[in-house]
């Protein structure tokens, strides 16, 4: 039960009861997301059970459930669209009014969670036997990155710059290479993460504390700047800096939210005359989770290499502290095994 980042308690709550069109899943693994660490984002909703990257085993199925059985290994998405509204008809599934109203109960960081009927019908996926539960926790975050990159359309030969070498930043680097990017540059302030980014596919890594990122990227791109800049760092300064490294006619992808009272200073003059496109991308839909499952199960995305720390469910507080404060970690996963 999350009260704040420094106050996470283990509490006993009743096992969720399921309806005739629902599932009860025993959680086996659940990833800690960067959004789980944003106190400004969670404060008004606490206390609550977090966890939206779960994989587990079905231990109960309602009488009307088809295609799923007790014993199946599954990933369940915490938010799903209704597929019928104004936004859904235009492919904007994450803007659907139902999207934010659907939730796993009580959340992924629990021994058992209920999968409501809409979530079951639209975005619950069986895991192949070859895929571990830990790897299954990467379906949601990898899907978020897929959706974002689909929006900006990385093309063969593109120079792509990724601001932030956390798990999402490295997944973005992996996806860009899969899409045929000619060069992927990753920047961060932490040497460990830069080493991991280089090991997992980045062509060039830059420590922004020690180098001028804009100058270095221009050196790497014949003085043009990057075709696509992906900002995974959740702060306004990163957004402001990114405008200095995107080329004329390039695309700036905003992948992380800032606090609501933060503002970035961007020049409409530069955006206009340089024809820079700014594209935000929030969350993931049922379309991309299926793509993510395929990429992970085929090992085109090496999910296991992103997981650096594992904690028992009883040590969820330690998992959060590690994810929030450690300078030497990528993906942190909580296990119930």
CATH assignment of the domain containing 246: 3.40.50.720
Of 11, 6, 21, the C-alpha closest to 110 is: 11
Does 287 fall in a domain? no
Regarding whether 176 and 99 lie in a shared domain, the answer is no
| CB-based contacts of 298, cutoff 8 Å, min separation 6 | none
Find residue 229's DSSP bridge partners.
161, 252
Regarding whether 306 and 259 lie in a shared domain, the answer is no
Q: What are phi and psi of 54, to 5 degrees?
A: -95, 155
CA-to-CA distance for 268 and 24, rounded, in angstroms?
A: 51
Regarding whether 171 and 109 lie in a shared domain, the answer is no
Q: What is the pLDDT of residue 55?
A: 98
Regarding whether 83 and 163 lie in a shared domain, the answer is no
Q: What is the pLDDT of residue 177?
A: 97
For residue range 12-49, list pLDDT tens digits in order. 999 999 999 999 999 999 999 999 999 999 999 999 99
Does 331 fall in a domain? yes
> What's the token pair of residue 299?
């090992």
Regarding whether 227 and 131 lie in a shared domain, the answer is no
Regarding whether 240 and 194 lie in a shared domain, the answer is yes
Does 320 fall in a domain? yes
Regarding whether 275 and 155 lie in a shared domain, the answer is yes
Q: For the chain, first and last CA: distance in Å?
A: 19
SS (H, E, C) the chain: CEEECCEECCCCCCCCCCCCCCEEEEEEEEECCHHHHCHHHHHHHCCECCCCCEEEEEEEECCCCCCCCCCCEEEECCCCCCCCCHHHHCCCHHHCCCHHHCCCECCCCCCEEEECHHHHHHHEEECCCCCCHHHHCCHHHHHHHHHHHHHHCCCCCCEEEEECCCHHHHHHHHHHHHCCCCEEEEEECCHHHHHHHHHCCCCEEEECCCCCHHHHHHHHCCCCCEEEEEECCCCHHHHHHHCCCEEEEEEEEECCCCCCCCCCCCCHHHHHHCCCEEEECCCCCHHHHHHHHHHHHCCCCCHHHHEEEEEEHHHHHHHHHHHHHCCCCCEEEEECC
CA-to-CA distance for 126 and 55, rounded, in angstroms?
A: 10
| CB-based contacts of 234, cutoff 8 Å, min separation 6 | 34, 38, 256, 257, 258
For residue range 82-136, list pLDDT tens digits in order. 999 999 999 999 999 999 999 999 999 999 999 999 999 999 999 999 999 999 9
Given a cut of 70, the residues of the chain with pLDDT beneath it are none
CA-to-CA distance for 68 and 261, rounded, in angstroms?
A: 44
CA angle 108, 169, 2 (to 5 degrees): 30
Does 322 fall in a domain? yes
- Which residue range(s) make up the domain with 62? 2-138+301-335
Of 27, 29, 177, 184, the C-alpha closest to 106 is: 27
Regarding whether 260 and 188 lie in a shared domain, the answer is yes
CA-to-CA distance for 254 and 229, rounded, in angstroms?
A: 9
> What's the token pair of residue 176?
């860009």
Q: What is the pLDDT of residue 337?
A: 79
Q: Give just the sign of the alpha carbon dihedral 330, 11, 312, 334.
A: negative
Q: Which long-range contacts (CB under 8 A, 24 or more apart) does 3-7 make?
A: 3/46, 3/47, 4/39, 4/43, 4/46, 5/37, 5/39, 5/320, 5/321, 5/324
Does 65 fall in a domain? yes
> What's the token pair of residue 224?
């043009």
Residue 164: CB atoms within 10 A of its CB come to: 27
Regarding whether 273 and 322 lie in a shared domain, the answer is no
Regarding whether 248 and 169 lie in a shared domain, the answer is yes
CA-to-CA distance for 246 and 23, rounded, in angstroms?
A: 46
The domain tally of the chain equals 2
Does 16 fall in a domain? yes
CATH assignment of the domain containing 30: 3.90.180.10
Does 285 fall in a domain? no
Contact yes or no for 244/264 (Cβ under 8 A)? no
Does 290 fall in a domain? no
Regarding whether 306 and 263 lie in a shared domain, the answer is no
Regarding whether 128 and 199 lie in a shared domain, the answer is no
């Amino acid at each position: 039960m999350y009260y704040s980042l420094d106050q996470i308690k283990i509490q006993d709550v009743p096992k969720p009861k399921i309806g005739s069109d629902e599932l009860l899943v025993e959680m086996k693994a659940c990833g800690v997301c960067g959004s789980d660490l944003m106190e400004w984002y969670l404060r008004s909703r606490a206390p609550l059970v977090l966890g939206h990257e779960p994989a587990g085993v079905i231990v109960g199925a309602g009488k009307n459930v088809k295609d799923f059985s007790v014993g199946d290994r599954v990933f369940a998405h915490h938010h799903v669209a209704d597929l019928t509204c104004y936004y859904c008809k235009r492919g904007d599934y994450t803007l659907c009014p139902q999207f934010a109203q659907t939730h796993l109960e009580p959340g992924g960081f629990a021994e058992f969670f209920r999968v409501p009927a809409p979530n079951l019908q639209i975005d619950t996926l069986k895991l192949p036997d070859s895929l571990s539960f830990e790897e299954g926790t990467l379906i949601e975050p990898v899907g978020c990155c897929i959706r974002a990159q689909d929006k900006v359309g990385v093309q063969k030969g593109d120079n792509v710059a990724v601001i932030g070498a956390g798990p999402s930043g490295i997944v973005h680097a992996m996806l860009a290479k899969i899409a045929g990017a000619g060069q992927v540059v990753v920047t961060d302030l932490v040497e460990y993460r830069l080493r991991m980014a280089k090991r997992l596919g980045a062509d060039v890594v830059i420590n922004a504390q020690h180098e001028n990122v804009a100058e270095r990227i221009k050196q790497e791109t014949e003085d043009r700047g990057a075709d696509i800049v992906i900002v995974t760092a959740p702060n306004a300064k990163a957004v402001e800096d990114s405008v200095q490294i995107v080329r004329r006619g390039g695309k700036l992808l905003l992948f992380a939210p800032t606090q609501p009272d933060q503002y970035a200073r961007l020049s409409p003059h530069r955006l206009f005359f340089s024809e820079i496109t700014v594209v935000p991308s929030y969350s993931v839909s049922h379309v991309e989770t299926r793509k993510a499952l395929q990429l992970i199960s085929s090992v085109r995305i090496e999910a296991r290499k992103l997981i650096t720390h594992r904690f028992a469910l009883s040590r969820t507080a330690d998992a959060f502290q590690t994810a929030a404060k450690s300078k030497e970690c990528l993906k942190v996963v909580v296990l119930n095994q």
